[in-house]
Structure 1
Amino acid sequence: MARGWVRGVGVLGVVVASGCGSGRGVLSEARPPAKTQHACLRAHPPPSVAAAAAQDRGRQGAQVVLATAGSNRLAYVADEDDGSIHVIDVGSMLERTTFDAGGTPGQMMMLADGRLVVTLRDKAQVRVFEPSEGGTMVERCAVDTATEPVGLAMSPDDATVVVTSGWGHALTALDGGDLHRKYQVELPREPRSVIVSDDGAKAYVAHAVGSAMSVVDLRADPHAVTSIGLKGHDERPRFKAKRVHDGIRKRRAKTLEAAFEGTEKVERLACQGFALAKSVAPTGRVLAPQVLVENGDTREPSDGYGSMSGGPSEVPDVAVIDQGSDRPFEASLLVRSDRSVSPHETECLLPRAAAVDPASGSLFVTCLGSDTLVEYDAASTEPHRTELRRWRVASGPMGLAIDAASHRALVWSQFDRTLNAVPLGDAAEPAPVMRLALSRRSARAEMADLALGRRLFHAAGDERIASDGRACASCHPDGRDDTITWATPDGPRQTPMLAGRIEGTAPYAWVGSGDDVSAHLGHTFSRLRGRGLEKHELEALVAYVTQMTPPPREGDANTARLERGSQIFHSTEAGCASCHGKNGRDPDGLRHDVSSRATSDVTGEFDTPSLRFIGGSAPYFHDGRYTSLRALLVETDGRMGKVSHLAPGDLDALEAYVRTL
């Protein structure tokens, strides 16, 4: 899933009476979340109109969840922008009601007895709602999780609910009955969707960044976390001629055939791991839509950002993992030289949701930026090479469910606030896509410039931005960073985080070459060989980028340690605040030489970065050389501040404080 709306467009907290069509539903009367262990259980036996869990998604959370209410089929849609959940009658495609989620909803999951579990990204909680007579939803309880809960899944025996937390990089296990917290394990950065293995022994976790999938042991204590590498590689002809400094391979042979000598493999990193699904025929496979990235040789200057091969820097992929061995099929990570490349505007470079049709066994993936739903052959070991069909849907497809009863795919397009009903019948005579515009809270005004800016930020295939189809969100998922260090004409450059780090931090770029955001964006488009945007479009993009919602801040219960860390940060001896400003959020706007020049850098002076949200944005430095915050503090001693005089406890305090900035 992807966030990316802006401050001031959040939850308004007004509920009105239940009604038909686009009327809003009644939540329970305002009351604090329940605190007892059994408060999450149903208060009453399921009434005849209560929702019963649909089994179409294999006990996995989503932004669109199907359920039944008597003879009716319902779709629950999580609306992040409005902080609400819409209830749609799937048969009539009419909106029945809407209720307040109590925060920014991420994924939802329907339990077998009709309780609806919702992750609240801005509250570090999951909340449990119970349907009652008349179609209202009653909040039963709230359960605390790590910061920014996103993904949900349940074990096959319904005994355990697992929750992933993006910014909190953790997996929390809850009891499947009363939802009490069982345990929590730390994960690598930006975990998103999660799915439980067929035997219930493991949880597979997709990450938006990092080129790997996490596997959590759900049975043995301690609950070990292992990693499955998802890096891919190109298989391409090898030229006899050497690569020259301008990044172009010169053919010195007189004929094309004489210029080649076999093939070579070029590694590609993996990112955009927002979605997961499980195959049904054959069983035992986990399907992970992602993007494979060629970031270029950072030891040499390039003529743009990334690949110097002439091909696209980013290509769509679906990794296939065998549950038995926890190994990916190598073919699923291979970009072959004979790959048939579709036009950039149709590439699935921002996959956001995935589901398998139990009838056909096909894998369906929603593609943000190109606004498409793509069907792949899930039985293939190379699903990315076996596209079957695709459909155009409304803007911002973020959620997906397969309604087996009507053989339709339901796609939630968040940017256009539209639920798309996509018929999956005869490919020879495709039926039209039905679209239902969902209600909006009357007090919430639409901000046209921000809406346009958001669309442009996620526009994959817009050659005004990048000639190879990349979107801003390709390198900045959720407005954050992809953890990748790219080859550029100036040397190696790590992608910086944007959300919450723009205001008051000029000049921009690692060397401070951009005096304002507009100028810096124009420079970036040029490096990506984009043609550039119209003035009003650029203004809208700047408005969106500067107001993106930052991740929730993580706290630290040890206030004494934080106070000590703050004292050290602001002390003359450590010298941190002399460049990074009070609380690390107001850099001095100057360039400094801290002896960090890499081989291909054209300069050794770099702009002082903001330290906002630094605790969640590893690796560090312009070339990503430091993998941890502790390494950054210790290994730059004397060149960028001073910590060698600190006792171990004081160094811990400084690190803890910096993490909260």
Structure 2
Amino acid sequence: STSEPAAPPAKPHRPPPTREGGPLVRAPDQPALYLAHEDLDVVRRIELPFFASSKATEIPMPGPPASVLALDGRVLVTVRTDPGLLLILRPDEAAGLVETARVELPGDAWGLAVTADEQTALVTSAWTHQISAVDLQTGRKLWSRDVAREPRGVTITADGRAYVSHLTRATLTRVTDLRAEPEVTEVPFTAAPIRVVPGMEDRASLGYTAIPSPDGERLFFPRRALGAFGKEAWNGQATVDVMLLASETSLASRPEKVLNMWTGDFQRTTGQLFNTVPRDLTTTGPGPIQKQAPFIQPRAAIYRARTDTLLIASEGTDELVELDALAIDPSIKALRRYATGSYDTKTHTSTCAAPSGVALSEDEDTAYVFCRASHALRTIPLRRVGKEAAPEGERLALANDPLSEAGARGRQLFYNAHDSLLSDGFGCAGCHPEGRDDGHVWRQEPGSWSFMHAYSFSTEDELKRGMPRQTPMLAGRVAAGGPYGWKSESSSLRLRVVTGFSIHRWLGGSAGEQEGIDASKDLVVFLREGLRPPIRRERPL
């Protein structure tokens, strides 16, 4: 008799490098990256390793893709349409990806994460402020629940708890019982607890992402603490807040007494004490005072397990910043900085501008970075402790900007925090993420040196100084010729942009610099042509 040939052994399941979606991810089952190229309405598949001459496979999407997540044999993509979409696709050698299921969700589907068994996906819908669960086996929506505005990053613990970050506040959202009747709870979580001004614990913005530690004991939330003290902190401080999951408490604790004190005399500096960068960023006060922020506008992050460090995509400074993940406050001081591209101070443009996505190679020696404002992908060889600087990586140009030359330059200016004249250390996208608003009220000081700030001085009377000004939304609202300003004080949008260069800083500045006037023209083009308005349903008044 003859026996049947033995079936080939089943391939072992390959877990994904991360269970959180983002603009850029590495596939677990093939040497490739997947990129959600939102501004061009495509997903790209990039073979690894890639070089400057490499070609990416382009997969058209039904709308702007926000997040992509590669699983073993499947790729998930959220699409910012109305209704929002979760696409389930399979890799295909010829087409790159082939759609196998499409799940309709609340509009503006954005963030994405899967459970440990990879059976359930959670999707945040930013503009419609909802979170939804999807059964990945059946391609069916299980439920949707309303949450606070602008939910963005989402992560799911091994025991099935989900935590959601928001773009407009520090408080998180927790969701449990994901497969049954979900329980949605708000979790207060102070931004920069050792540096925050009392009463401003929930003043935070730019909470795009939530990152778990490999052991599942901590969660990391990069964001902007608008109520935190620091040198020249007109707009608060950059922070990475660490949650201990067992207790849902912050690793950093607030001091028993909060003192507002200038610590320059107690810091070791180079040369004179005034206007110099301290060598030692620790202080004798209640919390560290920084001269230089570790990053500006945190847009994406990933945990580097072999070194216990965090890699943060610093959108405003065109850098990938490496932080100590075991520190009480990882954002106190950067361990290493990696420039994503070369910056031209005359044109205010970079060869890899506004990094918004980051992924790691399997050996974690190389970072892959997507730069949104220049439509480019970079490899960054990472340094090891005690090693010299790593060699220069590869740069892959993915596409030409769909806007005019002026609009393309304006796109880079919108995210740019390099230039002290135009931004004073904070890009337009810092207060107007994606052209929307940050959800906060600022104060504008009147007078010849008009300026904007998150808080003013230290006494109760001084904290009440200035005129309250809520951050306005720009996307879809600046087509008119003018006037602009809270009291129509600027006759045109360009004049309002130039005025903004002056007031969006700590002690004001000159709005008449020719450099700023020239740059404002390009920025206006982008504000009108490049910002996507949120979804809007036509309905009778």
What is the TM-score normalised by the length of structure 2?
0.78
Q: Which has the larger radius of gyration?
A: 1
Mapped partners of 1:385, 1:459: distance in 2: 22
- Report the equivalent of 1:383: 330
- Report the equivalent of 1:313: 235
- Give yes or no for the alignment of 1:448 onto 2:405: yes
Indicate if the aligned counterparts of 1:54 and 1:110 stay in contact, CA closer than 8 A.
Answer: no
Indicate if the aligned counterparts of 2:108 and 2:535 stay in contact, CA closer than 8 A.
Answer: no
- Give yes or no for the alignment of 1:526 onto 2:498: no
1:472 Cα offset (Å)? 1.6
- Give yes or no for the alignment of 1:419 onto 2:377: yes
Indicate if the aligned counterparts of 1:95 and 1:438 stay in contact, CA closer than 8 A.
Answer: no
Q: Equivalent residue of 2:537, what SS?
A: coil
- Report the equivalent of 1:559: none
- Report the equivalent of 2:139: 179
1:232 Cα offset (Å)? 3.8
Indicate if the aligned counterparts of 1:317 and 1:332 stay in contact, CA closer than 8 A.
Answer: no
Larger mean CA deviation between 215-224 and 269-278 belongs to: 215-224
RMSD of the TM alignment (CA)?
Answer: 3.0
1:423 Cα offset (Å)? 1.6
1:213-224 map, 5 Å: 213-219=172-178, 221-224=181-184
Change (3 A) 1:397 1:321: same
Per-residue CA shift, 1:550-575, capped at 9, x if unaligned? 4433438xxxxx54xx2xxxxxxxxx
- Report the equivalent of 1:255: none
- Report the equivalent of 1:457: 414
Indicate if the aligned counterparts of 1:318 and 1:332 stay in contact, CA closer than 8 A.
Answer: no
- Give yes or no for the alignment of 1:208 onto 2:167: yes
Mapped partners of 1:402, 1:173: distance in 2: 27
In structure 2, runs of 5+ residues without a counterpart are 1-7, 259-281, 341-351, 447-466
- For these two proteins, the number of residue pairs brought into alignment is 463
1:308 Cα offset (Å)? 12
- Give yes or no for the alignment of 1:363 onto 2:310: yes
Mapped partners of 1:134, 1:64: distance in 2: 21
Q: Equivalent residue of 1:434, what SS?
A: coil
1:342 Cα offset (Å)? 4.4
1:131-170 map, 5 Å: 131-134=91-94, 136-170=96-130
Q: Equivalent residue of 1:229, what SS?
A: coil
In structure 1, runs of 5+ residues without a counterpart are 1-46, 237-263, 296-306, 557-561, 567-661
1:267 Cα offset (Å)? 3.5
- Give yes or no for the alignment of 1:409 onto 2:367: yes
Q: Equivalent residue of 2:398, what SS?
A: coil
Change (3 A) 1:499 1:415: same
- Report the equivalent of 1:30: none
Mapped partners of 1:544, 1:96: distance in 2: 26
1:504 Cα offset (Å)? 2.8
Mapped partners of 2:412, 2:397: distance in 1: 19
Mapped partners of 1:89, 1:482: distance in 2: 37
- Report the equivalent of 1:535: 517
Identity across matched positions, percent: 27
Mapped partners of 2:366, 2:325: distance in 1: 17
1:79-90 map, 5 Å: 79-90=37-48
Mapped partners of 1:177, 1:461: distance in 2: 46
1:347 Cα offset (Å)? 4.3
Mapped partners of 1:487, 1:51: distance in 2: 58
Q: Which amino acid aligns with 1:358?
A: A
Q: Which amino acid aligns with 1:476?
A: H
- Give yes or no for the alignment of 1:76 onto 2:34: yes
1:41-52 map, 5 Å: none
- Report the equivalent of 1:488: 444
- Give yes or no for the alignment of 1:553 onto 2:540: no
Change (3 A) 1:433 1:314: farther
- Give yes or no for the alignment of 1:512 onto 2:456: no
Q: Which amino acid aligns with 1:270?
A: A
- Report the equivalent of 1:471: 427
Q: Which amino acid aligns with 1:504?
A: A
Q: Equivalent residue of 2:17, what SS?
A: coil
Indicate if the aligned counterparts of 1:198 and 1:284 stay in contact, CA closer than 8 A.
Answer: no
Say which of 308, 314, 322 aligns to 2:244.
322
Q: Which amino acid aligns with 2:147?
A: L
Mapped partners of 1:403, 1:290: distance in 2: 25
Indicate if the aligned counterparts of 1:67 and 1:73 stay in contact, CA closer than 8 A.
Answer: yes
1:134 Cα offset (Å)? 4.1
Instruction: Tell me which of the two structures has the higher relative contact order, counting C-alpha pairs closer than 8 angstroms and 6 or more residues apart.
Output: 1
The structure where helix makes up a greater share of residues is 1
- Give yes or no for the alignment of 1:341 onto 2:290: yes
Mapped partners of 1:513, 1:166: distance in 2: 32
1:568-583 map, 5 Å: none
Q: Equivalent residue of 1:387, what SS?
A: coil
- Report the equivalent of 1:286: 219
1:525 Cα offset (Å)? 2.1
- Report the equivalent of 1:659: none
Say which of 87, 93, 101 aligns to 1:127.
87
